[in-house]
Amino acid sequence: MNFRLIVSTLLLLGATTQALAEDAVEGYRIAVVDPNRVVEQSPQYDAAGDALQRELEERERTLREQQEQVAALQRKLERDGALMSESELQRLQNDIRSRTRKLKYARDEFQEDFVLRQNELRTKLARQVQEVVVELAKEQEIDLVITEGVVYFSDRIDISDLVIERLKAEFEKR
């Protein structure tokens, strides 16, 4: 008899808890944003890539020129090395070694600057996306927006297209 009372009470509590949970969920609006799709389809992403490319073109050209100069000196060494005096040969080898070291340092610095600038642009874009998501969530009275780690979501709660449209509109304003 005691056992039946306990089971009945647990079942009643379980049903009540489930009903309360369903009522609570019905009162909240949840949305999902695919951050990779939003970033890749935003005009800001393309503009940031173009800006980065323009910023680095001059340095890339300079590095290529320096590489060509080192290659020309190496060809000269191979072609004329046997005809040069010992001091001329030593001076040319030292020049090649020095320029090669400087070129390596410049390439490493270029690579570090590229990664740093790329991260700055990515952070700026992520901030813009987050601002748009927050704006849309407030406008549409969405209580929770999930971006990553979602196994499944329906198109009904995916606001990625809305975020992309808003980013495009903001980009066109600028």
Residue 146 CA to residue 137 CA, distance in Å, equals: 11
Q: Is residue 124 part of a domain?
A: yes
Average pLDDT along the chain: 83
Q: Is residue 132 part of a domain?
A: yes
Residue 174: its pLDDT value, please? 80
Which has the closest alpha carbon to 141: 60, 42, 27, 37? 27
Residue 43: its pLDDT value, please? 92
* List of residues 6+ apart from 171 with CB closer than 8 A: 42, 43, 44, 47
Q: Any idea what the CATH number is for the domain that residue 115 is in? A: 3.30.910.20
Residue 142 has pLDDT above 80, yes or no: yes
Q: How confident is the model at residue 14 (pLDDT cuts 50, 70, 90)?
A: very low
Residue 68: its pLDDT value, please? 96
Q: Is residue 98 part of a domain?
A: yes
Residue 172 has pLDDT above 60, yes or no: yes
Q: How confident is the model at residue 153 (pLDDT cuts 50, 70, 90)?
A: confident
Q: Is residue 5 part of a domain?
A: no
Residue 8 has pLDDT above 60, yes or no: no
Look-up of token digits 């999930």: 146
Residue 132 CA to residue 38 CA, distance in Å, equals: 11
The domain in which residue 92 lies consists of: 30-173
Q: How many domains does the chain have?
A: 1
pLDDT tens sequence across 81-119: 888 899 999 999 999 999 999 999 999 999 999 999 989
Residue 26 has pLDDT above 80, yes or no: no
Residue 27 has pLDDT above 70, yes or no: yes
Q: Where are the beta strands (DSSP E) in the chain?
A: 30-32, 144-146
Distance of CA 144 to the CA centre of its chain: 23
